[in-house]
Amino acid sequence: MGFFSVFKNVYKQSEAAVVIQLLLEEQANLRLFDQNPKTVAMSLVQDLCKAVPEAFDEKVHIPPQKLAVATAALANGLLAYGYDKRQQNAFIFCLGKLFSDFEANPGFFMFNKSDKLLLEGAMEIYTEVTNKLIKNKEDEKNNSYKYNSWEEWYHIFKISASHFNIQLTIDDSGFSFLDFMEHEPLKRAYQDGVDPELLAKSFAVQFDITKSINSTLKMS
């Protein structure tokens, strides 16, 4: 590989790291991520390059774009650093936000074949890890357990949501941002017999505290 090819790959990897860094900085600014976003982002991309070096070989195919690389790097990190609960929550949130953007704007992102391969692998990891988290919670419950009150249902919803979005983390006093939100939609879900864990996952991966605050300010 020539000098310019190497330089181009390094540049693309740096671009991908910036995508991850910006996502993590949003959480760090809210004190929901306590590590150095730039350092973690660079480490994740470098780990991905070591895990799948063929993905960046221009002799084999067109190299992937920065968003695909960033997504795959986060998914790879989810497997490598899954033992760290805080990092796991951060990576799940970042992946959920990226996948939501891809799904909401399919015509905007022009992904090539290499991108799609990385994104498919990342989605498999994301789905496997999040489903495992839900299953673990289900296994912890008694199969005969029923939600006898709104308070019990909401408690499960709040705990489950915190697993998929660190912006919804429960503090030492037992409070989370959810406690300050309108509960009528959730109460209707409880009355309709909706599973609080499944609803929590769907809600949490799309929730962005900054958008929620901005929406509230516009209404005021």
Global pTM exceeds 0.75: no
Q: 200 pLDDT band (50/70/90 cuts)?
A: very high
Rounded Cα distance between 153 and 200, Å, is 11
Domain count, the chain: 2
Residues 126 and 21 in one domain: yes
Residues 99 and 203 in one domain: no
Domain stops at, among 91, 121, 137: 137
Residues 130 and 188 in one domain: no
Rounded Cα distance between 165 and 161, Å, is 6
Host domain of residue 24 = 3-137
pLDDT at position 103 over 50: yes
Domain stops at, among 77, 110, 137: 137
Residues 16 and 119 in one domain: yes
Q: What is the pLDDT of residues 174-198, one digit of tens each?
A: 888 899 888 998 998 888 888 898 8
Residues 61 and 159 in one domain: no
Residues 147 and 126 in one domain: no
- 123, burial (CB in 10 Å: exposed 0-12, middle 13-18, buried 19+): middle
Which of the 8 DSSP states describes residue 108? Answer: T
Mean local confidence (pLDDT), 209-219: 51
Residues 89 and 186 in one domain: no
